[in-house]
Structure 1
Amino acid sequence: MQAVGSIVSILSAQKIEPIIRLASLSQISQGTTGGVVGNEIIGANFFKENPNINVTGRGVIIGIVDSGIDYLHPDFIYPDGTSKILYLWDQTKDGKPPKGYYIGTEYTNEDINKAIREKDATLSVDEEGSGTMLSGICAGLGNINPDYAGVANEASLIVIKLKKYDGNYTNASLSVATEYAAKKALELNMPIVFNISYGSNELVAMTALTLRDAVFFERGICIVSGVGNEGNTQTHTSGVVQFNGGEEYIELELSEDDPDVEIQIWMDRPDRVNCEVISPTGETSKLLQVSSYSFLTGLYDFEQTEYLLVTNYPTTFSGQQQIIINLKNVKKGIWKIKLIGVDINSGIYNAYLSNRVFLKPGTRFRESNPEKTINYPATYEDVISVGAYDTINGTIWPTSSRGPTIDYIPAPDIVAPGVNIIAPYPGEKYARISGTAPAAAYVTGSLALFLQYVLVENRYPKKAFTQSMVTYLKAGATRFDNTSYPNSALGYGLLNIRGSFEQLK
């Protein structure tokens, strides 16, 4: 804790970003029965089937930051036996790291081509499969089954297999991965679109890129991220502290004991509150008083639950008051968090549990709210945020996170097919994948088509900035009757890349 306090006091710091674990935004099911391919509904088949159009993603890089890739899968090998993967950085395998980095092994296109010739599967292994599947949605060749070809089948790939820390992916490995791939794209003088397939309920107040992230303001570099899979998971609640001295209670229910539960609470700027936590037996924690940075520790005698309460006001990256409540050896029952108004204007607060995949099934807020469940890093204003649409039922996927962000930035920007999507799977197979990650992959592949047309072919190079591209995505989206747009579930509508191209006229 002293180290954190020292960091907060550094005057030259532009942004302090703690290391957090990230949840996968993908759910994989074996087999293809009941699966779908979204290329027709998003307008991509118009480009594939029209002999007068040669828009394939050629000359554009897609950055896949995930679990790696099965580089021997035929859907990533051109007819001449060469790979569409320009670089593969396996952060988990000690060996020869990329220049300027200290972990993992970097494989070049030549290394991968040699492995293809020798049928050598030992360079890097995608144990989970999501990296292979998302790569295929974006840019797969469909060599085993042409019906399952990706959106931008001639786009190149840079793939980073993320390293886990304590069994989890983190924003630290994600950050260096995107930095690495962006630098490679600049060296190659090629545009790049990133598909971000992990998210977190933590750091949801991160909404603005800083000068440290200046590379992502470059023309021809953009990031696409799923908004999260927390729409119906009961991991978010919100409410209002009515006045100075007013009290508001948040109820957290555990149906079974949980070894570790963390809650983050964010007040709307510039409001401030004090905080107490009350156990199921009625024991009350010490009073956490708002300050620039302070923390309390203690023990509930009856439950034998340890607690750590932290507050920070204002945070360096958002200016809001943040409260972190960490409970260890948490007993089942109803836990109450009491917020006490100190300086109240709107009084609005938002509270978050960890992502559902990290929780016991019965750990939830008693009065949950699906709104404002956008996950970091889709919270960034200059990241294109994508929700998941269920093309089978013709509706938003219930688990897709809802907007806006807690900083009132509208999100998602758009939705795309994200339920039971058929994609390449390790071992020369296909499988089904659901979530906002595959939805983002459809947008990523579509933007590769767009960047080839406007930038690689130098038709409209000024339109190759993120802010312009997201405008074309929104303007070209399919919108349904009797629905008001934008809205917190569908954004500006369903991805229609043909419609986006038509806006160039």
Structure 2
Amino acid sequence: MRKLDPQLEFIVESGASELQTRATRDRFGLRVETDDGIAPEVVVLVQHSGDPQALRQAGLRIRGVAGDIVTGSIRIDLLPALTQIADVDRVEGARVMHADLDLAVTESRANLVHTGPPGRRGAGVIVGIVDTGCDYTHPSFRRADGTSRILLLWDQSLTPEGGETSPAGFDYGVEYSNAHINRALAAEDPFTIVRHRDSPPFHGTHVTGIAAGDGSAPGQGMPAGTFVGVAPEADIIIVSDNANGAEGIGTSANTLDAVNYIFEQAAARTQAAVVNMSLGDNLGPHDGTSLLERGLDHLLGGPGRAFVKSAGNAGAARIHAQGNVAAGATVDVKFYSPPGNVTPDQFDLWYEGGDTFRVSLVDPAGNVVGPVDVGATDSSNFESGNAVRIDHRDKDPNNGDRRVFLSLRPGNAAQIQQGNWTIRIEGVAIVGEGHFDAWIQRGSPGQVPTFLAPYENTARTISTPGAAAEMITVANYITRGAGPGSLSSTSSRGPTRDGRTAPTVAAPGQMIISARGHFVTPPGEPYQVMGGTSMAAPHVSGTIALIFEENGNCTQGQIKACLEASARSDAFTGAVPNTEWGAGKLDAHAAVACTPALNQV
């Protein structure tokens, strides 16, 4: 069994020279160490059932452990030795994560929870935010006395300086305590003490404001108290996911570490915690068996822990294709590569383990690489100079399905050839329906290919790790602007690839006004408008903080059941549950009212 995932095999084959390029490092979550000259390292997730010391001896720098999933970094040339450890089942390259109140709080009926009786505003509960970071100086995250509600801030991208340290148990980034933040707030220049800054467009600050901002600053021509978040009295822990340049926000390994860290800190304080992650990526089986999803499931299930994931914004992105192939038949799945596409493109195709396909790639000029049979790999160059690697994997150890991973890069050419390409699928032996699903990984704006009709499909577009068994995923609907009450066209759709209903619920996410980082243009304006499922998810996370204030012993499963049972349906949602709205529109008041019954579960 091949233990390295296709990305890692691609990296091993590509050689150190290509790994120095910024585009490749951003796409694959790489960092370059210079301790012994140039020694490229890759961040990985390892499925391992034995003694972690064996991993260390093989060269893995362990960062965190979540059940049988270990995160860490390792030199590229040591990856083959890592796979020789008997207790290592699978090694997955860290993948780049990408970004997925006035009217909204009222629409979700959270305002009724605030007023009560009894009033619930999230006091004593931790809201964890895994995102780009947060402007910790923003008034919305302070108490009445001016001190910060942010208990901890872990910036994964910083290197410790002076007396700074990384969090205990993690060997990277800088951790700032509440005392550090308060000292910074009292200083003339806060950023000389706490160096963290959110980066434009201040995605993390905006998300934090929706979940837990108190709206204490006036703005947008409105008085203080207008743009109040869902849990405005909650404590906050921020993890700034390690930056990956233009490609995305951080990696899947860093994300698992971040969630693990927040739950550990909450447990040490005997507080319930809900973690919001408005991030995701398109690769993987979309059935909950990726290593990130397995790791997250290991962290959930116990009382006082909850996790919320944005469904994603791929509803209209044309990044998913699906169809059926009959025995002896051929299906041509076409995609368009835009002009100026200079970054590596990745396509992830999955089909049932009982079927057998043969796969080729055809460039716009009709040149063919392949066909590639099950168990084989083909690395070739087209006449244009573009390079492709087709890795056709036999049955995956975690779900028994087959996988075709295509990596397409400029190669010797200046860019990937513009025009219509074809993934050609031949049905060799078909036991079931011959069904396949394929996804295109996200990338830099304007450089991402798109699938074409007739196989492009909006279903099964919820981003990874949204298919985890324990996951609460959130779709996005409109409360301001054109079409109020309707689902946003960009909101990702379910179901999961193994047929489970998703998303869980929908929440307001279009044209949401929330906290703006560092008060940039226009000068002094503390709020801004943003939209997407990234903005919908923190409405649910804030609601769960209100639930935890009512009953801090609730489990993820109990909370999910309450959210589903209490969700509202209307003419826009149609009959629920369905694969666009899940159980319907979030009703925070009804969800909190459902909570006392959980004491009897």
TM-score by length of 1: 0.91
User: Equivalent of 2:209, from 136, 158, 161?
Assistant: 136
1:20 — aligned with what?
95
Whether contact under 8 Å (2:256, 2:295) holds in the other structure is no
Cα distance change of structure 1 residues 224 and 211 upon mapping to structure 2, 3 Å threshold: closer
**How far off is 1:23 after superposition?**
1.5
Whether contact under 8 Å (1:414, 1:477) holds in the other structure is yes
Partner Cα separation in structure 1 for residue 354 and residue 400 of structure 2 = 8
Partner Cα separation in structure 2 for residue 262 and residue 211 of structure 1 = 23
Cα distance change of structure 1 residues 362 and 247 upon mapping to structure 2, 3 Å threshold: closer
AA aligned to 2:149 is K
User: Equivalent of 2:115, from 34, 43, 49?
Assistant: 49
**How far off is 1:380 after superposition?**
0.9
AA aligned to 1:218 is G
User: Equivalent of 1:262, from 340, 346, 349?
Assistant: 346
Structure 1 residues 8-157: aligned runs within 5 Å = 11-13=86-88, 16-25=91-100, 37-50=103-116, 52-95=117-160, 96-122=165-191, 123=194, 124-128=196-200, 129-144=202-217, 145-157=224-236
User: Equivalent of 2:545, from 444, 448, 451?
Assistant: 448
Partner Cα separation in structure 2 for residue 9 and residue 359 of structure 1 = 40
1:178 — aligned with what?
259
Cα distance change of structure 1 residues 65 and 119 upon mapping to structure 2, 3 Å threshold: farther
AA aligned to 1:53 is P
SS at match of 1:319: coil
AA aligned to 2:239 is I
**How far off is 1:100 after superposition?**
1.5
Partner Cα separation in structure 2 for residue 64 and residue 405 of structure 1 = 25
Segments of 5+ residues of structure 2 without an aligned counterpart are 1-8, 13-77, 218-223, 411-415, 520-525
User: Equivalent of 1:466, from 556, 559, 578?
Assistant: 556
Cα distance change of structure 1 residues 309 and 6 upon mapping to structure 2, 3 Å threshold: farther
Partner Cα separation in structure 1 for residue 199 and residue 244 of structure 2 = 16
User: Equivalent of 2:270, from 189, 195, 199?
Assistant: 189
SS at match of 1:147: coil
Cα distance change of structure 1 residues 477 and 24 upon mapping to structure 2, 3 Å threshold: same
Count matched residues: 484
**How far off is 1:356 after superposition?**
6.5
**How far off is 1:341 after superposition?**
1.9
**How far off is 1:10 after superposition?**
5.2
The one-character-per-residue Cα deviations of 1:290-319 (angstroms, maximum 9, x if unpaired) are 02xx42111112x22211111222223332
**How far off is 1:6 after superposition?**
6.4
Cα distance change of structure 1 residues 485 and 8 upon mapping to structure 2, 3 Å threshold: farther
Whether contact under 8 Å (1:206, 1:376) holds in the other structure is no
AA aligned to 2:394 is Y
Alignment of 1:436 onto 2:525: no
SS at match of 2:105: coil
Whether contact under 8 Å (2:345, 2:448) holds in the other structure is no
Partner Cα separation in structure 1 for residue 335 and residue 310 of structure 2 = 27
Cα distance change of structure 1 residues 383 and 15 upon mapping to structure 2, 3 Å threshold: farther
**How far off is 1:150 after superposition?**
0.8
1:277 — aligned with what?
361
**How far off is 1:272 after superposition?**
2.7
Partner Cα separation in structure 2 for residue 101 and residue 211 of structure 1 = 16
Partner Cα separation in structure 2 for residue 210 and residue 351 of structure 1 = 21
What RMSD, in angstroms, separates the aligned Cα atoms of the two structures?
2.1
Segments of 5+ residues of structure 1 without an aligned counterpart are 26-34, 456-460
Partner Cα separation in structure 2 for residue 218 and residue 148 of structure 1 = 33
SS at match of 2:510: coil
Partner Cα separation in structure 2 for residue 366 and residue 480 of structure 1 = 32
The one-character-per-residue Cα deviations of 1:463-499 (angstroms, maximum 9, x if unpaired) are x111110110011111014811111111110000112
AA aligned to 1:143 is S
Alignment of 1:300 onto 2:382: yes
Cα distance change of structure 1 residues 106 and 491 upon mapping to structure 2, 3 Å threshold: same
Whether contact under 8 Å (1:476, 1:501) holds in the other structure is no
2:510 — aligned with what?
419
Cα distance change of structure 1 residues 469 and 161 upon mapping to structure 2, 3 Å threshold: same
Partner Cα separation in structure 2 for residue 161 and residue 435 of structure 1 = 20
AA aligned to 1:126 is D
**How far off is 1:418 after superposition?**
0.3
Alignment of 1:390 onto 2:478: yes
Cα distance change of structure 1 residues 453 and 111 upon mapping to structure 2, 3 Å threshold: same
Partner Cα separation in structure 2 for residue 100 and residue 6 of structure 1 = 25
Cα distance change of structure 1 residues 378 and 189 upon mapping to structure 2, 3 Å threshold: same
1:158 — aligned with what?
237
Give me the identity figure in percent.
27
Partner Cα separation in structure 1 for residue 108 and residue 576 of structure 2 = 18
2:42 — aligned with what?
none
Partner Cα separation in structure 1 for residue 268 and residue 545 of structure 2 = 18
Partner Cα separation in structure 2 for residue 81 and residue 266 of structure 1 = 53
AA aligned to 1:331 is Q
1:338 — aligned with what?
424
TM-score by length of 2: 0.77
Whether contact under 8 Å (2:287, 2:497) holds in the other structure is no
2:438 — aligned with what?
351
User: Equivalent of 1:402, from 493, 496, 501?
Assistant: 493
AA aligned to 2:378 is L
Cα distance change of structure 1 residues 363 and 371 upon mapping to structure 2, 3 Å threshold: closer
Whether contact under 8 Å (2:358, 2:371) holds in the other structure is yes
Cα distance change of structure 1 residues 133 and 166 upon mapping to structure 2, 3 Å threshold: closer
The one-character-per-residue Cα deviations of 1:315-356 (angstroms, maximum 9, x if unpaired) are 233322111111122212221111122332221101111227
SS at match of 1:403: coil
Moved more, 402-411 or 480-489: 480-489
Cα distance change of structure 1 residues 334 and 382 upon mapping to structure 2, 3 Å threshold: same
Whether contact under 8 Å (1:229, 1:399) holds in the other structure is yes
1:487 — aligned with what?
578
